[in-house]
Amino acid sequence: MANKPMLPELMKTHGVSRRAFMKYCASLTSLMALSPALVPRVAHALETAMRPSVIWLSFQECTGCTESITRSHAPTLEDLIFNSVSLDYHHTLQAASGHAAEAAREQAMKDNYGKYLLIVDGSIPLDNPGYSCIAGISNLDMLKETAAGAAAIVAIGTCAAYGGIPHANPNPTGAVSVSDIIKDKPIINVPGCPPIPVVMTGVLAHFLTFGIPDLDELGRPKAFYGESIHDRCYRRPFYDKGKFAETFDDEGARAGWCLYKLGCKGPTTHSACATVKWNNGVSFPIEAGHPCLGCTEPDFWDNGGFYNPLSVPAGDYRKMGVAAVVGGAAVGVASALLSKAGKAKAVQNHETVDAHDLEKSS
Residues found near another protein in the complex (CB under 8 A)? 161-163, 177, 179-180, 189, 218-219, 228, 231, 239-244, 246, 258, 260-261, 267-268, 297-299, 302-304, 308-315, 317-318, 320-321, 323-325, 327-329, 331-333, 335-337, 339-340
Nearer to another protein, 348 or 361 (CB): 348
Q: What does the alpha-carbon distance between residue 172 and residue 300 come to, in Å, rounded to a whole number?
A: 17
- How near is the Cβ of 329 to another protein at its closest, in Å? 5
**Sign of the CA dihedral 218, 222, 227, 233?**
negative
- How near is the Cβ of 144 to another protein at its closest, in Å? 17
- Residues 348, 354, 356, 362: what is their CA dihedral angle, to the nearest 10 degrees? 70
Q: What does the alpha-carbon distance between residue 266 and residue 274 come to, in Å, rounded to a whole number?
A: 10
- How near is the Cβ of 243 to another protein at its closest, in Å? 8
Cα distances (Å, whole numbers) of residue 44 to 48, 116, 206, 221, 302: 6, 21, 13, 22, 45
Nearer to another protein, 255 or 333 (CB): 333
Nearer to another protein, 39 or 147 (CB): 147
Cβ atoms 195, 203 nearer than 8 A:
no
Cα distances (Å, whole numbers) of residue 162 to 150, 173, 178, 202, 299: 20, 14, 8, 20, 7
Nearer to another protein, 42 or 188 (CB): 188
Nearer to another protein, 178 or 276 (CB): 178
- How near is the Cβ of 27 to another protein at its closest, in Å? 30
- How near is the Cβ of 167 to another protein at its closest, in Å? 9
Q: What is the DSSP letter of 274?
A: H
- How near is the Cβ of 71 to another protein at its closest, in Å? 26
In sequence order, what are the beta bridge partners of 154?
119, 188
Nearer to another protein, 281 or 332 (CB): 332
